[in-house]
Amino acid sequence: MKAVRKAFLLLLITILTLICVGCGKKSTENIDAGMTAIENLQYSEALACFEKAIVNSEDLELAYRGQGIAYMGLTQYEDAVISFEKALKSSGMFPGALEYDINFYLATAKYKMGDNAGAILVFDGIIALEKKNKDAYFLRGCAKIANSEFEGGIMDLEKAMELSDNSTEMLIDAYKVLSDNGKEQEGSAYLTQALEKGTTLTDFEKGTISYYLKDYENARNYLETARTNEKEKADNEASIVYMLGQTYEQLGDNNYAAVLYEGYLADNPNNVEIYNQLGLCKLEAEDYQGALTAFQSALQIESNSLTQNLKYNEIVAYEYLGEFTKAKVLMEAYLKAYPDDATALREYDFLKNR
């Protein structure tokens, strides 16, 4: 569930940032600098820019909005909610696209911080105005399911699937949400139905669906076929390699999975997702130095969407290598940047007692 939420958050930040940069009342230097920092995933730097914008009485609605987005990037969701609420208080008399955008962020931040009831209320308002917003239905469904409102949540997920024309991506996201909340059978039914009716599905889509249905033999076969299809390879090569590698991992062939990842990275050295998966694969194979090298190579890539995961995985690699002092120092730095990571806090307690 954490991975699904994080992936959706990154997509949401990318889409709404691109839509709304410059859509406020006026353009100002510090706000623009802050939004550029967000696009580069430099959230602490962005916060400093927005603080300057607020002190200088720039467009407060945009400044607080940007501040909220930066806090979300740092997983400081309570602070994000406060900022988005300040942004709405700074808005004009008549709500428009910007206020809608801020409400979407506000609802997402409430959901991320565990205020599911609050998130549902905000999404109710968004859907009342945007009745065909598939993302709003999807997130409201997530919030309802997290709030143990399974019937209503499933209805919202089904609406999101319908509005997306039952896209494979939306079906898999819905499956993950249901599976992570004890409803794997219901989620699998959507995937099975899609596969049975999938006359228009690509081999990549069939392979991905089969993977999540835990039918790894068929997943491998579909994905290998996709890898030899020039059109599919041109459209989805990174995704094909990513899914095929994980399929081989599930089939117990970590060595070949690593070969796939390394072969792709030799020609495409800026793919952080595949570097991270290579590192995880090498951890599983007990090649801890190889794992560390993979994580550190990914961290050197600018505008890195997996920085938090990679920094944590780097610490884990150092632990496996027995370098506990180094791991402890890195964990202290990690917790300064991501203080709400409960798993990291528990791991830090372990490191302090080494």
CATH code assigned at 313: 1.25.40.10
Q: What whole-number distance in Å separates Cα of residue 122 and Cα of residue 295? A: 38
Q: Which of 18-32, 146-160, 235-249 has the lowest mean pLDDT?
A: 18-32
* pLDDT for res 40: 84
Domain that includes residue 26, residue range: 1-113
Amino acid of residue 219: A
DSSP letter string over 170-195?
HHHHHHHHHHHTT-HHHHHHHHHHHH
User: Do residue 62 and residue 144 come from a single domain?
Assistant: no
Contacts of 194 (CB under 8 A, 6+ apart): 166, 168, 171, 201, 209
Residue where one domain finishes, among candidates 174, 195, 216: 195
Q: What residue has token string 């009716």?
A: 197
Q: Which of 20-24, 91-95, 129-133, 220-224 has the lowest mean pLDDT?
A: 20-24
Q: Is the residue at 330 inside a domain?
A: yes
Q: Which ranges of the chain does DSSP label H, i.e. alpha helix? A: 2-20, 29-39, 43-55, 60-73, 77-89, 97-112, 116-129, 134-146, 150-163, 168-180, 184-196, 203-212, 216-228, 230-250, 254-267, 272-284, 288-299, 307-320, 324-337, 342-352
Q: Is the residue at 261 inside a domain?
A: no
Q: What whole-number distance in Å separates Cα of residue 37 and Cα of residue 58? A: 17
Q: Is the residue at 329 inside a domain?
A: yes
User: Do residue 157 and residue 86 come from a single domain?
Assistant: no
The closest alpha carbon to 262, from 294, 309, 234, belongs to 294
Q: How long a stretch of residues is the chain?
A: 354
* pLDDT for res 159: 97
Distances (CA, A) of 7 to 134, 145, 333: 16, 18, 23
Question: pLDDT for 189-208, tens place per residue?
Answer: 999 999 998 778 999 999 99
CB 327 within 8 A of CB 315: yes
* pLDDT for res 21: 47
Q: Is the residue at 19 inside a domain?
A: yes
User: Do residue 97 and residue 136 come from a single domain?
Assistant: no
Q: Is the residue at 241 inside a domain?
A: no
> For the CA atoms of the chain, what is the radius of gyration?
21
User: Do residue 294 and residue 339 come from a single domain?
Assistant: yes
Q: State the average pLDDT over residues 313-326.
A: 96
Pseudo-torsion of CA 334, 77, 183, 165, nearest 10°?
A: -110
CB 15 within 8 A of CB 31: no
Read off the tokens for 32. Answer: 């623009």
Q: Beta-carbon neighbour count of residue 48 at 10 Å?
A: 15
- The mean predicted confidence, pLDDT, of the chain is 90
The yes-or-no verdict on residue 268 having pLDDT over 50 is: yes
Choice between 235 and 2, residue whose per-residue pLDDT is larger: 235
The yes-or-no verdict on residue 76 having pLDDT over 50 is: yes
Q: What residue has token string 């599983």?
A: 284
CB 288 within 8 A of CB 320: yes
Q: State the average pLDDT over residues 330-343.
A: 89
Question: pLDDT for 273-303, tens place per residue?
Answer: 999 999 999 999 999 999 999 999 999 998 7
Q: State the average pLDDT over residues 335-348.
A: 87
Element housing 165 (H / E) = none
* pLDDT for res 264: 97
The yes-or-no verdict on residue 92 having pLDDT over 50 is: yes
Q: What whole-number distance in Å separates Cα of residue 293 and Cα of residue 33? A: 33
Number of structural domains the chain divides into: 3
Q: Is the residue at 259 inside a domain?
A: no
Residue where one domain finishes, among candidates 179, 195, 211: 195
User: Do residue 35 and residue 67 come from a single domain?
Assistant: yes
The yes-or-no verdict on residue 235 having pLDDT over 60 is: yes
Choice between 10 and 226, residue whose per-residue pLDDT is larger: 226
Q: State the average pLDDT over residues 126-154.
A: 94
* pLDDT for res 1: 47
CB 181 within 8 A of CB 146: yes
User: Which band of pLDDT confidence, cut at 50, 70 and 90, is reported for residue 233?
Assistant: confident
Q: What residue has token string 């994000």?
A: 80
Q: Could you tell me the CATH number of the domain that includes residue 185?
A: 1.25.40
CB 281 within 8 A of CB 273: no
